[in-house]
Amino acid sequence: EAQVTQNPRYLITVTGKKLTVTCSQNMNHEYMSWYRQDPGLGLRQIYYSMNVEVTDKGDVPEGYKVSRKEKRNFPLILESPSPNQTSLYFCASSSGGQPQHFGDGTRLSIL
């Protein structure tokens, strides 16, 4: 089954403790992207990747890092999380400008 898998689905952590949210897709898609969703602000793009070793900033990249060492994986790294990064995060993938497939989301709470 074609899918985008995010882990963990839920995480409560404390300020400053490094965390990684993993994203994996099994569709051999070149393009992957991370979004955060906050009430009243819709979906905002954090980072995207056009292919392996190619990443670029979206609209809200501050405080986040990403890497794309393999085609299927696109982890989101919060080196020093802060409370304003409490949000619902979605990973998505696509190929050749075709529709994006989204994961089920990761709800992060940073205390």
Partner 1 sequence: DAKTTQPNSMESNEEEPVHLPCNHSTISGTDYIHWYRQLPSQGPEYVIHGLTSNVNNRMASLAIAEDRKSSTLILHRATLRDAAVYYCILIRAGGTSYGKLTFGQGTILTVHP
Residue 61 makes contact with partner 1 by CB under 8 A: no
Residue 75 makes contact with partner 1 by CB under 8 A: no
Cα–Cα dist 110/87, whole Å: 9
Residue 74 makes contact with partner 1 by CB under 8 A: no
Cα–Cα dist 25/14, whole Å: 28
- Sign, CA dihedral 49-99-23-41, equals positive
Residue type, 61: P
Residue 2 makes contact with partner 1 by CB under 8 A: no
Residue 103 makes contact with partner 1 by CB under 8 A: yes
Residues at the interface with partner 1 (CB under 8 A)? 31, 33, 35, 40-45, 48-50, 56, 58-59, 90, 92, 97, 99-105
